[in-house]
Every structure is written in C-alpha cells, then in structure tokens.
Structure 1
Amino acid sequence: MAQPRTIALDAMGGDHGPGVVIPGAALSLERYPDQSFIFFGNEAEIAPLLDASPALAARARVVHTAQVVAMDEKPSQALRRGKGSSMWLALEAVQKGEAHAAISAGNTGALMAMSKLILRPMPGIERPAIAALWPTITAECIVLDVGANIGATARQLTDFALMGAAMARALFHVERPSVGLLNVGVEEIKGAEEVKEAHALLKGAGELPLDYRGFIEGDEIGQGKVDVVVVEGFAGNIALKTAEGTARQIGQYLKDAMMRTTLSRLGALLAKGGFRVLKEKMDPRRVNGGTFLGLNGIAVKSHGGTDALGFASAVDLGYEMAESGLLERLASDLEAFHHRLGSVSPASN
C-alpha cells in the first residue's frame, strides 16, 4: 500500500501562479488521494481558491510569503534575494524532511540554482541534470539533460545514463532499462570526443544496472528504441523544444486540412474519435514536468505557461518519484559505478 506523501508547491511560480497551481493539485489529488500538500505563497491569493476545493483544502496547509522569484530574474539575483521566497521555501521543506518532493512552474535557472544550493548534489555528481518524459510510438522514454547544463564531459554523460536508468526503473518498472547516447550517427567514429569517450566508459565499465545500446540518432527517440536517451543540455533542450513545436505544427496542419471543404469537415466528424486519441497522445501536458536528477531530494520543474492539467502531471511525477524510492537506488548505483571507475568523489558535499 502506498505511503502518504507530502508535496511542497511553489504556489506563485509560473505565468498564472495560484490560478493553475491550486486546481492542478486538486486534479492530482483525485489520482493519488493519499497525498497532502504545503502551498507556499501569498495566502490572500491562495485561500479563496482552496475554499473552492474542499477536498484539497482538507489535505493542505498554507505557508504565507509575499516574496516571489520573478520569471525573468537571473539565477545569481535569485540566490541573493530569493531566500524566503515561495520557491525557496518549497525546496527547503524537502531539505528539512517536511515534504517528499517540491514542484514549481517558476524560473528554471533560479530553480536549478536554488535546488543545488539547498538540496545539494549527491556524492560524486558534478552536475545535476533535467530529465524529461518523452512520448514515443510504443510508450514513453526519458531524455536527459534537456537544459540544466551547456556541454558535458564524458564522466557527466555516464552519470546522466545512470540517473536516467534509475528514473526509468522507478517510473517504468523495468529492472534493466535500455540506454542510448544521442549522436550524429551510429558509427563509433562519429560524434564529439566527449560522446565517444562516454560510449567507451559505458561499454567498458562492467556490469551496470542498465542495458547500454550504444549510439542512437534523433529520429529514433520517438520510435521508442530505448528507455533512456542521454545528451548534453544544449542539444537536449533544442531537441525538446523542436519536438514540442513540431507536435503543435502537425496539429494545426490537421485542423486546417479538416476544415478546408464540406467533405473534409464531414470526414473529420466521422473520424472524431480517432482525432481525439491523436490529440491526447500529442498533448505535451500529459508529460509536463522536468525532474532535477542528481540531488539529495526531488525537485520537479513544470512549464511556466501550462494549465491545471499540465501542472497536475508535474505533481503526479513528483509523487511517483517519491513513492518509488528513486533517490536511495540512485545513490547506490552511483557509488558502485564510481568505484568501478576508480574515481569515487568525497562522501560529503
């Protein structure tokens, strides 16, 4: 039976603040009714929305703060001025053990900087990564890094592989997730030196808690060829944004085509059920939420402009990761792998 989990929410983050965060939490509560919530933000704005959702209000408390991290604030400014903000307090609740996961739709750079400062990287982790769920033809896969870091060393890429595999085990319930390195070709002579070095490390490190499949190309992500796709953050973020934009573009193409003539509109009406299924599969709100992996705590970043349905997906992700025991398994995997490499980092951060 699932254990009760407490989720800390930055109620003021994102483009819409409490107007999306509160109803999003209510939707997630319907799916996982053993959750409880701590909302951090302006109580005067939060309270009326909670009053409209009695089931959520019964499982929530509010911690008031008038301080908010602006969406355009630089990470360095957020660190200097953000202590006591809704974002800071949500992360601090995880660090203190008052909550099992923190969710924010706020400023990505500020959230990463604060997460690293408050939750601290796991032993041996040089750079945490943002991992995103990616819909595929078969199911879903995990792609990381999608924007936390620009560039990555071979050692960091191998750490991303282990972190992604741990997340895949937690969410997909696969004991040995398949992992691929994103590259410009599948031949071993192709790609940046860091990617080729990471390939050699993953091939030669002995028994790993994953099934390493070598290089994959960008068009293979959506085919579901592997459970985890490893890439440095610059290329990963471009791939993610390109895929999201392409999904919207195809959706608009279909809509325009179906409305062109009376006959096509009749065809659209007859195919309404099929189009509904397609729309659901292509809806980015279903997989909204990027997880910061490699920290001593769970932090999930929701898209800033999402609606309640999208925010609920991010809350679901935080809950599922807390419920899975991800952090403990990942810490064990990293320690064993770094020991094999003969490069164990100091145990304290």
Structure 2
Amino acid sequence: MIESLCVAVSRREAEDARRKLAEKHLLRTDLKIISDERYVYIPVSGEVDIESAVMKKMYFEKIERRESFRDAIKKFLGEAKISSFDTVGDIAIVRIPPELKEHESEIGNAILSTHKSIKVVCADDGVKDDYRIRNVRVIAGENRTETTHVEYGARIRLDISKVYYSPRLATERYRVAKCVKEGERVIDMFAGVAPFSILIAKLSKPSRVYAIDINPHAVEYARLNSRENRVDDIIEVIEGDAREVVPSLEKADHVIMNLPHSSHEFFSLAVNAGSNIHYYEIIEKDKVKDRIENLKNEAIEEGKKADVKNWRIIGGYSPSKVKIGVDFIIR
C-alpha cells in the first residue's frame, strides 16, 4: 500500500472530477481509486482546486504496470510516429501514417495486447461524404464497427462507419448539460446520435429537446439511444436539414451548434432560434477573434445582439487549427 494525497468527492461527482484531474495531469494512474458508501477517493499528484472536494491523505493499492502501447510498437517500429488513438466504446480508432501502412496489423495487435477493454481496432483513413463520417477499416480484433460508448451514465450506441461521434467532447457535453435548467427547451441542430441531447435530458430535466440530423443512420441511432436511456418522452428526434427544420420549432432557451467544419454558415439561423447558443468550430488559431467578431456582426444584421459569455479552446486539431467553443447570449 502507498500513501498519497487524494480528493474525496461524492459518487455523483466522481466521474467528472476524475476527467478534470486527468485533463490537468494531476490524476495518479499508478494507484487504484477506492470508495465507500458516501465518497470516492481519487489519488492525485498535488494540491487541486475542485469545488466541494476535500483533500486528504490515504493509502492506495498500487496498479501493476502493463506494457504500454508505445513500448509494444517500439519492438518493431523503433521510435514510431503513433502515440495515441481515440476510444469509442470497445473500439480503438488510430490514424496510421502512409509510411507505416505495412505495419498496421502489428499496430492493431499491439493496441489489443496492451488494452484489455478494447476488442476492435480500426484504421482511420480520413473523412468521407457530406456527413463527414470517418472512413474506417478493421485492422485487428473482432470484425465489426458498432459499439456502445458510456459517458456520464449515458449509453450511446453507434456505428463508427456510419455516423460522426467524438469521444473528446465528453466534458464539454457535461458542461453544457449543467447549463440547462429544469423546464427549459433545447434545440440540438446537428445532433448526430444525440449524445448532447441525451445527457441534457438525463441530467437537467428540460421540457423538450429537439435533436435534428440529416444523416438517416444517425437519426436511427438517436431514436434508439433515446429509448434505451429512457428519455424518449423528452427528446424529439427529427430527420432533416436544420435550415428547414429549425424555423418551424418553438423558440428555445439553448441552441447547440456542433458542426465544427461549417457551423458558421448556420449562425444567423441559430440567433433567431434561441437565447443561448453553444457554438463549436474547427478554425485556424489566428482567426478565432475575427470569427467571433464576424458572428456578432451577423447577429446585428438579424436585429439581435450576441454577447460572448465565454470562449475556450477545447483541443487541437492540426498544427495550425484548434477546436473552439463559444457560449453566446442572444438579446
């Protein structure tokens, strides 16, 4: 047993706290998290500032270190250019540089051998068609592309070859869900398989969530996920183009715009649809402030005022591009 600093949080807040600690590189992954009837105790490497959490010292069991993915691929690739991959449910999705294509089977098997919870490994060959779906191929493990991803207690079923889904937005989806108050209405303009909508419906008890998508496969999964998470009485899934659907809906308290490569093309539609806009875009780093000003000007042209409540960089996309989130208040 090893003594370590830890944060004590309620069971309800534990998953969110763990994610935040991991993002800040404060989570000790060499020690096992423990719990009792009231609290979850998460070992950390230093002092942290999490609301309602209590710092203390406790003893934890050490996790025996398995061979890492990097160590496994070094055996046949040396210092390779692959350091990470996305995980959706029990599927790993990895981008393999062209010069390493001949080793993709070994790379896939290295992921399987070092991550016991992963059953399928897919190569990501970029995006395809108008729905911007990942072009994936199974390179190791079971021959399937459907899985169930669990996020803050919500179970999201999807097929990564047919729908768009980003596991990297989990914390952002939780943050938006906590912004919604009981009884409010929400329009999810580009809902996909409905992860935003479902988390909001489960956590915030809105009166109605309209989940819109033009991809029929995404719509099918959104309806399935709404039923399986028992929120189909709150979520109305609508297949169609947001430009045609949104004007027919009642005004919402929150509008979610997660179409990162072209959301700016729909902003004038959104400012007339709701009083709070949660906007996402992938954009060049040096163009962020100009984009925000342009969006504010678009609101003025629509007879509205868009005040920026906050904006943040959610993550990197390429050496020159980032994904941003902006919360607008529309008056």
The TM-score, its normalising length taken from structure 1, stands at 0.33
Q: More helix by proportion, 1 or 2?
A: 1
The TM-score, its normalising length taken from structure 2, stands at 0.34
With a CA cutoff of 8 Å and minimum separation of 6, indicate the structure with the bigger relative contact order.
1
Q: More strand by proportion, 1 or 2?
A: 2
